[in-house]
Each structure stands twice: as C-alpha cells, then as structure tokens.
C-alpha cells in the first residue's frame, strides 16, 4: 500500500510547453541541486531550452545530475555532450543498448519514469512527476513535425513527497555510479557507493510499506492535497502501481476515466474494469488513435471487443499522439482518486520498466484532470462503435492478432506472467 502524506501544493501541467516553462523557471532559481530523470531527451526545438536551463544552473555552481535512458535517448549530440561537460553537468545513460540492442531481453528493462527534484533537501524543494519526456510537443523523432501538440501531463509538487522523489533519484544515480566504478575495476569504491544506494532504497521501501490508513488527514487537508509517490522496479516494487489501480477500480462507485497511450491490460486489470462496469460504474477509456508503433497500436485492439461488449466506452485520440498515462475515479465524490505518471497499462510498464506515478486524493485536482480528459474525448477523440469495430477489415484484424501473439511471445521469453 502507498503511504499518503498531507499538505501538498500540486499543479497539473498539460503538455511540454507548460512543463518545460515550470521546469526552467525552477531551474533558474535553484541554489543547490537539480536531479532530472527522463526516458527521452531530445535536443530539438524546446528540448534545447531545458538543456540550456540545466547548463545555466551548473555554471552557477548548482550540482546537476541528468540520467537518460539508453533506448529512449540513444544519441546525445556531440556538441551537447561538450556543453554539458564544460558546464559541469553530470550526465549518465541508463542501460545503453550496445551492438545487439533490444535483441537482448535484459535490455527491455528501461528507465521510463520522468522525475525531477530541485533543491530537494531545502524548504524551497520542488519536484516533478509525470509522463512528459524532454521532447517538444510539436515534434516526434520518428514522424517529424506534428500539426497538433502531443497530449500528456505532469505534476509540479511542493510538500513532503519531494523528499521521496529525492530519495528515488539519488538511489538510482548512486547505483549507476557503482556500475561505472565496477567497470573501471574500482571495487572498494563501488561497494561503498552501492551501500549508500541500498541505504537510500531501504528508506524508500520502509516508507512505502506503511498503510495509507495509518496517516489520518491533518488540518492542512482542507487546503492542501494528500498524495503518494508510487515507484515500480524489478526488486521490491514489482506490482505497486498495478495494485494501486486495482484497488481504486474495485472501490469505484460512479465513474472511471483512464487515458493511456499504450493500453494492453492484463487479466486482473481487465477483470477489474469489467467488474466495475457490471456494478453500474461508468467506465470511459481514452486511448491512442493515431498509428505510432506496430506492436503498441495493433496488440491493444483484440482487447477492445470484450470491453465494448460490457458497455465500456472507448474513445480514440487522433488529433495528435496521445502520450498520457493518467486516471480519475469518482472525481465528484468525497473519495476522489487520481493518478498522473509514466506508467502505461501494458506489460512493458507493469512488468519490466522503472516507472513513477503520483496518486492524489483531492477532489479539486481530480475534477481538473477529469475536465481536461472529457474535453479531449469530446473535442479531439472519436468514440469507437462496437458494431464498426466488430466489422473492421480482415487485414486489420489479422495485424491485430499477429501483434497480440508477438506480445505474448515476448512475455514468455521474459518468463513473466501477465
């Protein structure tokens, strides 16, 4: 169970424009430390603005730690490597692909979370968590310029959770340093660094082990949100995000809205959604409607039929790329629940990747997110008709089944059940 803490000021940020603006502003006022983790760091257009903010902070003497995933960020341009190094930005690439790339199953475990913490040990600490990469909203590395911005969210956090984000980013950075020291055959230094990482990781695990019910709302709760940070890794936090979804869905009474870029729920999640619909809960899904990747696009569609037959609404977002990983449950009730983060509801996110979500128990925050999702459905989405879907072209149905089969084969290779 996640531990919920009181007294948070939360700002819901939509798209890279809002996220980068807030991130750059906080970097400009940083005094001690900036830690940033991202799957993709692209140096096109506004991505350069973030890079320059990190450089300016480092030149002022702020300690800047940047960790980028080796699959999402395969290539850091030499000119930016030189600028980072000259300014003193400490940057690392997580799990580089190497020559064989993703042909090696162990390399499917990616750093997919998007976290940032600024001056995390001070009273002015600020944190960020969400699904937005350092990637301009109007640009895609595979598809070029986009006519409309990518649809995604992040949250700016002030309050106790910033300490949790600091511990998470610090622990992973220390682990990366330990691996580097081992490759350089600095065994003693690596052992010391690894011990520091384990100490930080243990602190995270102990905090996460407490029940939310042990934290009664404080007097601040009337004005500030309760929230929890959920981390997913392959050691102690294997199912934390999935379990949070399952519990929230099982307790839903009125409405469930999920927006997810790569949606392929396993048996437990499908059963939970079908059970909610059977109880009379309105379930609405906002999913990817624009072709991006073969596997993610086609493998999700065999699941549509059973969901549509249960009365679950599916809306496909096709104005631009949907990249959001958010959900809102019972936004207009006293038990409003919302989550914003990096975790898709698919096997890669829930079984393999490092992910991070924030769960918020706050009606105002939930209603804000709900309104944005409903607007996206009605203005930029198209509801999937059960009849039309059942009669989609034969070729499309074949591609859907092929992709679904390949996904199941990939899971069998990893040895994971989903």
8-208 adopts what CATH topology?
Endonuclease; Chain A (3.30.870)
Whole-number Å distance between alpha carbons of 239 and 325: 16
Whole-number Å distance between alpha carbons of 170 and 386: 48
Which range among 10-14, 96-100, 351-355, 391-395 shows the weakest confidence by mean pLDDT?
Answer: 96-100
Query: Looking at residue 413, what is its pLDDT?
Result: 81
- The answer to whether 347 and 264 are in contact (CB under 8 A) is yes
Query: Looking at residue 215, what is its pLDDT?
Result: 36
Query: Looking at residue 99, what is its pLDDT?
Result: 83
* Residue 127 scores a pLDDT above 90: yes
- Higher per-residue confidence, 129 vs 234: 129
Enumerate the domain spans of the chain. 8-208, 227-414
What would the two tokens of residue 166 be? 């600091």
Chain segment 245-278, per-residue pLDDT in tens:
999 999 999 999 999 999 999 999 999 999 999 9
Query: Looking at residue 180, what is its pLDDT?
Result: 76
Query: Looking at residue 213, what is its pLDDT?
Result: 34
What would the two tokens of residue 333 be? 């009730």
- The answer to whether 173 and 67 are in contact (CB under 8 A) is yes
Query: Looking at residue 224, what is its pLDDT?
Result: 81
H runs (alpha helix) in 300-354: 304-309, 347
What would the two tokens of residue 249 be? 């869905």
Which range among 145-159, 187-201, 377-391 shows the weakest confidence by mean pLDDT?
Answer: 187-201
Whole-number Å distance between alpha carbons of 361 and 353: 25
Q: How confident is the model at residue 76 (pLDDT cuts 50, 70, 90)?
A: very high
Query: Looking at residue 200, what is its pLDDT?
Result: 61
* Nearest one of 352, 399, 363 to 105, comparing CA atoms: 352
Query: Looking at residue 210, what is its pLDDT?
Result: 41
CATH architecture of 227-414: 2-Layer Sandwich (3.30)
H runs (alpha helix) in 124-229: 161-183, 187-208
- The predicted model gives 190-219 an average pLDDT of 51
Query: Looking at residue 308, what is its pLDDT?
Result: 97
- The predicted model gives 342-356 an average pLDDT of 94
- The predicted model gives 126-145 an average pLDDT of 96
Strand, helix or coil for residue 59: helix
The terminus-to-terminus CA distance of the chain in angstroms comes to: 20
Pairing of strands 313-317, 381-383: antiparallel
* Residue 69 scores a pLDDT above 60: yes
Query: Looking at residue 1, what is its pLDDT?
Result: 65
Whole-number Å distance between alpha carbons of 241 and 269: 12
Whole-number Å distance between alpha carbons of 187 and 199: 18
CA distances from residue 279 to 247, 276, 307, 376 in whole angstroms, order as listed: 15, 5, 14, 26
Whole-number Å distance between alpha carbons of 344 and 406: 18
Mean pLDDT of the chain: 90
Query: Looking at residue 241, what is its pLDDT?
Result: 97
Whole-number Å distance between alpha carbons of 345 and 83: 37
- The answer to whether 53 and 28 are in contact (CB under 8 A) is yes
Residue 144: strand pairing partners: 140
Query: Looking at residue 362, what is its pLDDT?
Result: 96
Residue 192: strand pairing partners: none
Positive/negative CA dihedral, 131, 134, 138, 139: negative
Whole-number Å distance between alpha carbons of 334 and 345: 26
Query: Looking at residue 353, what is its pLDDT?
Result: 95
Whole-number Å distance between alpha carbons of 182 and 191: 9
C-alpha dihedral (8, 202, 188, 183), degrees to nearest 10: -70
- Kindly list the catalytic residues: 112, 114, 119, 323, 325, 330
Give the rounded distance of the alpha carbon of 250 from its chain centre: 22
* Nearest one of 172, 128, 151 to 341, comparing CA atoms: 128
Same fold, 8-208 and 227-414: yes
Whole-number Å distance between alpha carbons of 40 and 62: 23
What's phi and psi for 285, nearest 5 deg?
-120, 135
């Amino acid at each position: 169970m996640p531990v919920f803490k009181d007294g948070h000021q939360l700002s819901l940020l939509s798209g890279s424009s809002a996220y980068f603006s807030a991130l750059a502003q906080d970097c400009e006022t940083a005094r001690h430390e900036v830690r940033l983790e991202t799957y993709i760091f692209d140096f096109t257009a506004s991505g350069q603005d973030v890079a320059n903010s990190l450089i300016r902070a480092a030149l002022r003497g702020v300690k800047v730690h940047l960790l980028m995933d080796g699959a999402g960020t395969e290539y850091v341009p030499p000119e930016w490597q030189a600028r980072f190094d000259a300014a003193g930005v400490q940057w690392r690439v997580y799990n580089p692909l190497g020559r064989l790339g993703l042909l090696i199953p162990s390399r499917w475990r990616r750093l997919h979370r998007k976290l940032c913490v600024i001056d995390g040990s001070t009273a002015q600490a600020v944190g960020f968590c969400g699904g937005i990469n350092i990637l301009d909203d109007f640009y895609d590395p595979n598809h070029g310029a986009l006519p409309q911005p990518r649809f995604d969210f992040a949250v700016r956090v002030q309050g106790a959770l910033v300490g949790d984000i600091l511990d998470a980013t610090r622990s992973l950075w220390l682990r990366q340093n330990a691996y580097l020291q081992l490759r350089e055959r600095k065994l003693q230094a690596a052992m010391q660094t690894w011990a520091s990482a384990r100490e930080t990781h243990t602190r995270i695990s102990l905090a996460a082990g407490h029940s939310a019910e042990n934290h009664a709302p404080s007097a601040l709760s009337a004005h500030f949100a309760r929230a929890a940070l959920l981390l997913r890794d392959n050691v102690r936090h294997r199912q934390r995000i999935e379990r949070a979804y399952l519990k929230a869905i099982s307790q839903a009474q009125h409405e469930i809205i999920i927006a997810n870029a790569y949606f392929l729920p396993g048996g437990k999640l499908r059963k939970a959604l079908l059970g909610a619909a059977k109880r009379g809960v309105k379930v609405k899904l906002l999913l990817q409607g624009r072709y991006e990747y073969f596997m993610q696009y086609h493998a999700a569609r065999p699941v549509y039929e059973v969901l549509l037959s249960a009365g679950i609404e599916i809306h496909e977002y096709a104005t631009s790329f949907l990249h959001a990983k958010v959900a809102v449950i019972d936004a207009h009730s006293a038990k409003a629940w919302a989550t914003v983060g990096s975790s898709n509801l698919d096997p890669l996110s829930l079984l393999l990747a490092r992910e991070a979500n924030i769960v918020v128990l706050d009606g105002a925050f939930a209603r804000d997110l709900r309104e944005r999702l409903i607007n996206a459905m009605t203005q930029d989405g198209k509801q999937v008709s059960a009849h039309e879907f059942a009669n989609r072209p034969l070729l499309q149905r074949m591609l859907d089944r092929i992709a679904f089969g390949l996904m199941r084969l990939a899971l069998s290779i990893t040895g994971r059940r989903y």
